[in-house]
Structure 1
Amino acid sequence: MNAKILLLFLWPISAAAQGFAGLGTGVDGFARPERGYAFAFPADHGAHPEFRIEWWYLTANLTADDGTAYGLQWTLFRSAAAPQTRDDWSSPQFWMGHAAVTTPDQHYVSERLARDWVGQAGVTADPFEAWIDDWVLQGDWNSLRMTASGSDFAYDMTLTAQGPLVFHGDAGYSVKSASGQASYYYSQPFFEIAGTLTLPEGPVAVSGAAWLDREWSSQPLADNQTGWDWFSLSFETGEKLMGFRLQQTDGMHYTSATWISPDGTATPYEDGALRATPLAQNAADVPIEWRVVLPQRDLDVTVTAINENAWMTTVIPYWEGPVTVTGSHEGTGYLEMTGYD
C-alpha cells in the first residue's frame, strides 16, 4: 500500500518508537482526503506536501532466461513534520528510499534517507521524475526507466504500461477503518518490465510484470490499528487483485479489495468481503503462506512466499517479497506485511 502500501512512519521524528502504529496519530494542520476528489494528471503524479505521508511504490515479478524467479522493489516515501515546504534547512519534508531484490535464497536490501530542499531527493510531476541520490524513476507513466543500487546489487529497468490507471475504493478514495480514516490511492498494475539485475554472481537479464502504487494521506490508520497485510496478485487470466487486511488491537481486522479486469475495469469490495488467513509462518513468526478468498469472484487461492526471509532491514522493518498463487486462480504477485516486529 504498497504498499503498499506503506509506510509510514513519522521518520525521523520518533518513528522508530512508534512504528506503523504512528499512522494513527493526530494530524492537526494537515490536509485530509475527501470523497469525490477529482484527480488531475500529471500533477497528481507529483508530491502533495500538504499531506503528512506519501509514496511511490513499485514491485515486480521477474524471470530470468533459466526460469529463476526474482522480485524487485523500488520505493520513495515522503514524510512531513508540518504541512508546508521551505527553501532552507528548516523544511519539514523528509524522504526515504527503499530498494530490494529477492531471489529464491537471498534478499538484498538498501535504504536511503534525505532532507528536503537540498535537492538530494524529490518528485517532479511534469516531466515525471522521482529520485533519491542516484536512484531514479522517470518517464511519462506510459514508459519509465528505473534504477537503484546497494552494496551487493543493482538494477536498471525499463517499464511500459499495457493498460490504464486503476483507482481503488470510491474512485480513488480508499477507506482504511470503520471510523473513516482514508487515503487517496491509485495504481498502474499493467507494466511490462525488462532489464538487468546485477548480483554478486554477475548480471542477469530479466523480464516480467510490475505494479506501481501511488498513495497519500495524513492519517490512514485508526488509533487502534497497528499494521497491515497487503496483496497485489496478477492471475494468468489477465485479472488482478489488490487487497489488504488491517490489524487491530482487539484482534479483529478491517479489509478492502479491488478486483481488476484485464481491460482495467475496477470493482471495489468493502470491509468483510475479502478473507485472508495465515496458513504458515517463518521462524520469526511472520506469515509466509496465506489463504485468500473473495467469494464474489469465486477466488480461493493459496499465496506462498518465494523466499520466506524477505525481511526489510530498514529504519522501520517490515516484510516485502514476491509470491506465487495457486488454487482457483494461478499467478504471481507481491506481499507486504507490517506490524510484525
Structure 2
Amino acid sequence: MMDTRKDAQQRGFCNASAVIGRRCAALLWAALLAVLVPAPLLAADVAPAQASYPPVLAGKALSFPHDLGAHPDYRTEWWYITGWLHDAAGEERGFQLTFFRVRTLIGEDNPSRFAPSQLILAHAAVADPATGRLRHAERAARAYPELAEAATGTTQVGVGGWSLRTDGGAPDSDRAPYRTHIDAQDFAFDLVFEPGRAPLLNGREGFSQKAPDPINASYYYSRPQLRTAGTLRLDGERFAVKGHAWLDHEWSSEILPAAASGWDWIGINLHDGGSLMLFQMRDAEGRAMWAAGTLGDKAGKARKFAADEVRFEPLRHWTSPRTGVRYPVEWRLHLADGRTLQLRPLLDDQELDSRSSTGAVYWEGAVRLFEAQADGGEREIGQGYLEMTGYAERLNM
C-alpha cells in the first residue's frame, strides 16, 4: 500500500543526525538503516557488486553554481550553516543547521520511489545564554519526492518540513541568497542569508585533505560573512533577528582515517570582514595528526595554512554534568603568520548527547575569537562556531 504523506513522515523521521555533527556523516547510513529501511530491502535490494563511490581527486575544478547543489554519486554530503543572531534588545544567540545527503548503495536498481538508495537528514540547534543550554532537534528520512530530497545544480534540500534553498534573485548565480525554514518543538527560525561574495575554496582549490594519506579528502568550500535576517521563535515567543552566518558545503566518499579518534574545527567570521577556518584531526592519544586552515580577507582572497602551520592548544576544560565527558572549551590557536588567538564559548554547555539514537556525544557551539594586544590586553576580533568530536569515545565510522 502506498504511504500517505503523514504516514511517510511518521515512519521516516527519527533522531539521527545530531549525534555526530556534520563531518561524522561518512557512515551515518549504517546506523540508520534499521530505522529508515524495511528489512526486505536490506535483504534483497543491495546494489550490484560493481556499484561504488567515486574518489575525491586533487585537481578537479569546482564549478558554480552547479556545485551549490547535491552530488548524489558520492557517499556523504552536507550543507552546514552556523551563525550568531541578535534581537532588538541586543540579546545574542548562536544557531546552527545541517542538512545531510547519504548514498547507501542499497536498492539502487529498484525502480520504486521508496528505495532507500539516498537518505536525507537534518539537525538544528540554538545556543541560548538566557537558559544556559542548547536547544536541538533532528529529522531523517529515505529520499522521497517533496518529502525528503536534495536537488542537483542548486541548493535545494529538505526533510520533514525543514528546508534550505537558494531564494529568488538569480538562482543560476553563486550570489543568490539562501533561505531556511526550521520548525521544532521549542524553537524555530526562518532566516535569509545574503552571500555578497563568491564561494571560498578550502585546501587546494577545493580539495581538502583530512589526513597524511590524500585518499582521506573531501571537496570543500565555505561561504563566510553571510548577512542574516529573519525571525526566531523560542518557547512560543517570536523575535526579529539579524546577524551573520557561515555556510560549509562538503562531499566525500571516504570514512574517518583509521588512526583518527576525532577532530576540532572552527569557522569564524572576523569583524574586519575576513574569515578563518581551521581544523585538526586527533589520534587516539589526543595528538594532532593533521591540520589545515584558510584565512580569508574581506575581498575573498585567501591564505592557506598547511598541516605544520596550525596548532591548537587547550586552555580550559568543562565537564558535562550529564555524560561526564571533559571538553576543552577554551583554546589558544597558533598560526604560521605569527599570530596567537584565543577562543572562548558563548556558554560552556553546548554538548549534544544523542546516545538514544546513534550513540555519539560531541560538543558544537558558538564561540568568540580574541587577539592579544601589545599593552597586554586583548580585543574580540570575530565570532563563529567550534565543533569537537571524539572526546567521549572514538567515532564509530
Contact 1:49 1:84 in 2 (8 A): no
What is the SS of the residue equivalent to 1:7?
helix
**What is the TM-score normalised by the length of structure 1?**
0.89
Provide the rounded CA distance (Å) in 2 between the counterparts of 1:8 and 1:125.
19
What is the SS of the residue equivalent to 1:65?
coil
Considering fraction of residues, name the structure with more strand. Answer: 1
CA shift digits 1:12-40 (9 cap, x unpaired) = 41479xxxxxxxxxxx8211100111212
User: Does residue 203 of the first structure (1) align with residue 238 of the second (2)?
Assistant: yes
CA shift digits 1:257-296 (9 cap, x unpaired) = 1010110012211102111111111123012111112131
Contact 1:99 1:149 in 2 (8 A): no
Which residue of 2 is the match for residue 289 of structure 1? 330
Which residue of 2 is the match for residue 309 of structure 1? 349
Deviation at 1:187, TM superposition (A): 1.1
More moved, 99-108 vs 3-12: 3-12
Provide the rounded CA distance (Å) in 2 between the counterparts of 1:236 and 1:13.
41
Which residue of 1 is the match for residue 186 of structure 2? 152
Contact 2:26 2:75 in 1 (8 A): no
Contact 2:26 2:255 in 1 (8 A): no
Contiguous gaps of at least 5 residues in structure 1: 17-27
Which residue of 2 is the match for residue 327 of structure 1? 371
What is the SS of the residue equivalent to 2:347?
coil
Contact 1:186 1:213 in 2 (8 A): yes
Provide the rounded CA distance (Å) in 2 between the counterparts of 1:32 and 1:82.
15
After TM superposition, the structure 1 = structure 2 runs for residues 65-104 of structure 1, keeping only pairs within 5 Å, are 65-82=88-105, 85=108, 87-88=111-112, 89-104=114-129
Which residue of 1 is the match for residue 389 of structure 2? 338
Q: How many residues align?
A: 328
Letter of the 1:166 partner, please give it.
L
Deviation at 1:96, TM superposition (A): 1.4
Contact 1:260 1:267 in 2 (8 A): yes
Provide the rounded CA distance (Å) in 2 between the counterparts of 1:183 and 1:8.
12
Letter of the 1:260 partner, please give it.
G
Contact 1:64 1:207 in 2 (8 A): yes
Which residue of 1 is the match for residue 323 of structure 2? none
Decide whether aligned partners of structure 1 residues 127 and 255 sit closer, same or farther in structure 2, where only a CA change above 3 A counts. Answer: closer
Provide the rounded CA distance (Å) in 1 between the counterparts of 2:275 and 2:107.
37
Seq. identity, % = 31
Which residue of 2 is the match for residue 137 of structure 1? 164
What is the SS of the residue equivalent to 1:272?
helix
Which residue of 1 is the match for residue 278 of structure 2? 243
- Equivalent in 81, 90, 94 of residue 58 of structure 1: 81
What is the SS of the residue equivalent to 1:137?
strand
Contact 2:106 2:116 in 1 (8 A): no
What is the SS of the residue equivalent to 1:50?
coil
User: Does residue 261 of the first structure (1) align with residue 291 of the second (2)?
Assistant: no
Decide whether aligned partners of structure 1 residues 87 and 213 sit closer, same or farther in structure 2, where only a CA change above 3 A counts. Answer: farther
Contact 1:241 1:260 in 2 (8 A): yes
Decide whether aligned partners of structure 1 residues 166 and 246 sit closer, same or farther in structure 2, where only a CA change above 3 A counts. Answer: same
Runs in 1 of length 4+ with deviation above 6 angstroms?
none
Deviation at 1:5, TM superposition (A): 4.7
User: Does residue 277 of the first structure (1) align with residue 313 of the second (2)?
Assistant: yes
Deviation at 1:127, TM superposition (A): 5.1
RMSD: 2.3
Deviation at 1:4, TM superposition (A): 7.6
Which residue of 2 is the match for residue 173 of structure 1? 207
Contact 2:262 2:389 in 1 (8 A): yes
Contiguous gaps of at least 5 residues in structure 2: 1-19, 34-50, 321-325, 373-379, 393-397
CA shift digits 1:229-251 (9 cap, x unpaired) = 10011222222110001111254
Contact 1:9 1:15 in 2 (8 A): no
More moved, 122-131 vs 221-230: 122-131
Contact 1:165 1:186 in 2 (8 A): yes
Decide whether aligned partners of structure 1 residues 14 and 200 sit closer, same or farther in structure 2, where only a CA change above 3 A counts. Answer: closer
More moved, 7-16 vs 229-238: 7-16
Decide whether aligned partners of structure 1 residues 48 and 172 sit closer, same or farther in structure 2, where only a CA change above 3 A counts. Answer: same
Contact 1:183 1:220 in 2 (8 A): no
Letter of the 1:35 partner, please give it.
A
Which residue of 2 is the match for residue 13 of structure 1? 30
Contact 2:101 2:119 in 1 (8 A): yes
After TM superposition, the structure 1 = structure 2 runs for residues 96-135 of structure 1, keeping only pairs within 5 Å, are 96-104=121-129, 105-117=132-144, 119-126=146-153, 128-135=155-162
Deviation at 1:221, TM superposition (A): 3.0
